[in-house]
Structure 1
């Protein structure tokens, strides 16, 4: 009986040790994400350090502002597009609700705006994004509605709570790349 009890306590210690490791990893990852979100105002205001001239000399090369007339204005426009895109991506990859696929629509919009802001030959930025978003919305909206309808059918039939159904429908990849792969 003594050996059996000792074996059980050793297994419990192994389980606690691995559980503590995964908890520590979650704390570290959460701290990194929280620090990134808290630093986004600083990321946005990096454009203030760009000179207000048409050419900007950097260690990566010379940047010449074609359409905007000023490198400072060009970086301001890029910051206006990049920061909401980054925050939306963080929200998408950290969201635990069943409706997180709806975040694909603003992510697609911010991506389109960011790419069009990079295209310096484009005369009118932020003009026709809704046209390009229609195919994405045509896929995301019905799928969200179907998931919602399936959840409410299960609520009425099984008597489960909303939290239990969210857990049932939640897809939980183990790694960051696993989360990315599930969408492609």
Structure 2
């Protein structure tokens, strides 16, 4: 369970650390090119001035959605559902960007962005509930372990004089071992053990 929580924390931490650097990935693209051709893909800037501007807008919108989503997932306050307002607006702007660029959707962008937002919001709520379950489970284990530790500490409070007395009784019992019957010796040892545990 702690490995899963640690893995989730590391993934969230890596996304937060990498996101400012990912925002500047558009600088790797050619500055004055309208079409960027590589051996893996060909990218057209469309009505944008150049590829760099196109990728800057694309990365800006995706990173905004990503960071608001991370904020929602990691926030444990009741007001986190208000983050859906800016998130829905960013998804609306992103679908508008894709629609203007590729003509995927109809002209009524609100109608097409709403189902996408609902699906995305349900995914975020699901992920948040899963992470919250692991968080509550870890918190419960920590509380349980601390309570067990405190109880054991209370039980282990044992005066030094009692310890010396028990050692003396054990020493005498060991000296009588050869004289006593095995059953009697065992019962006396058990009595001594019980006096220790109480």
TM range (shorter): 0.5 to 0.7
Q: Name the residue aligned to 1:39.
A: 18
Q: How many residues align?
A: 112
Q: Name the residue aligned to 1:119.
A: 99
The 1:120–1:70 alpha-carbon spacing in structure 2 relative to 1, beyond 3 Å, is: farther
Q: Name the residue aligned to 1:156.
A: none
Structure 2 gap ranges (5+): 103-108, 115-127, 133-198
| 2:78 match: secondary structure | coil
- Equivalent residues of 1:55, 1:71 under 8 A apart: yes
Structure 1 gap ranges (5+): 1-21, 123-128, 137-171, 177-184
Does 1:48 find its partner at 2:27?
Answer: yes
User: In structure 1, how many angstroms separate the alpha carbons of the residues matched to 2:81 and 2:38?
Assistant: 39
User: In structure 2, how many angstroms separate the alpha carbons of the residues matched to 1:47 and 1:121?
Assistant: 17
Deviation at 1:69, TM superposition (A): 2.3
| 2:43 match: secondary structure | strand
The alignment's TM-score, normalised by the length of structure 2, stands at: 0.50
Q: Name the residue aligned to 1:81.
A: 61
User: In structure 2, how many angstroms separate the alpha carbons of the residues matched to 1:108 and 1:80?
Assistant: 15
User: In structure 1, how many angstroms separate the alpha carbons of the residues matched to 2:54 and 2:91?
Assistant: 17
Q: 1:104 aligns with which of 76, 81, 84?
A: 84
Give the aligned CA root-mean-square deviation in angstroms: 2.9
Relative to its length, the structure with more helix (as a share) is 2
The 1:59–1:113 alpha-carbon spacing in structure 2 relative to 1, beyond 3 Å, is: farther
User: In structure 2, how many angstroms separate the alpha carbons of the residues matched to 1:59 and 1:94?
Assistant: 39
Does 1:69 find its partner at 2:25?
Answer: no
- Equivalent residues of 1:67, 1:120 under 8 A apart: no
The alignment's TM-score, normalised by the length of structure 1, stands at: 0.53
Q: 1:29 aligns with which of 2, 5, 8?
A: 8
